Amino acid sequence: MKQIVLRTALALAFASLLQPVVAMDHSSHAAPVAKAANQVLSEGKVRRLDRGAGSVTITHGPIENLGMGAMTMTFSFKQGVVPASVKDGDQVRFRAEEKDSQYTVVRVVPAK
Ligand SMILES: [Cu+2]
């Protein structure tokens, strides 16, 4: 009897080792091509806003559409893109794009 119990335990232990490893499928992580992708905003904090020069330095989190990790960098922007209420130190959500090999902020939304 003891023998059978032991064998069963071993069999179960062995069977658990044979559980098929679920293959990781990353295909679903592929960048969405939908129009909605244009609306994806990134998180950031305004470090230095220069409205005259049309440049803003932002410490930002990952920017998925640019394949960029978190960092501090300067973007250019066109007049009217950064809301008048936005000032240095503000938390914002923003959309950045690469235009003419220049990183440009095309939308800025103050974060609450
Ligand atoms: Cu960056």
Instruction: Give the distance (Å) from ligand 1 centre to CA of residue 110.
Output: 19
Q: Which residue has the tokens 């794009």?
A: 97
Dist. CA 24 → ligand 1 center (Å): 29
Question: Would you say residue 45 has pLDDT above 50?
Answer: yes
* pLDDT recorded at residue 92: 98
- pLDDT, residue 112, reads 75
Task: Report the distance separating Cα 11 and Cα 6, nearest Å.
Answer: 9
Q: Which residues surround ligand 1, an ion (CB under 5 A)?
A: 68, 71, 73
Percent of the chain with pLDDT over 70: 66
Q: Is the pLDDT of residue 55 over 80?
A: yes
- Return all residues near 82 (Cβ < 8 A) that are at least 6 apart: 49, 51, 56, 105, 108
Instruction: Find the mean pLDDT for residues 24-38.
Output: 54
Q: Rounded to the nearest whole angstrom, what is the distance from the C-alpha of residue 25 to the centroid of ligand 1?
A: 28
Distance 65 CA to ligand 1 centre (A): 11
Domains and CATH numbers, the chain: 40-112 (2.40.50.320)
Residue 39: pLDDT band with limits 50, 70, 90: confident
Alpha carbon of 87 to ligand 1 centroid (Å): 19
23 pLDDT above the threshold of 70 = no
- DSSP readout, 22-89? PPP--GGGSPP-SGGGGG--EEEEEEEEETTTTEEEEEE--BGGGTB-SEEEEEEE-TTSS-TT--TT
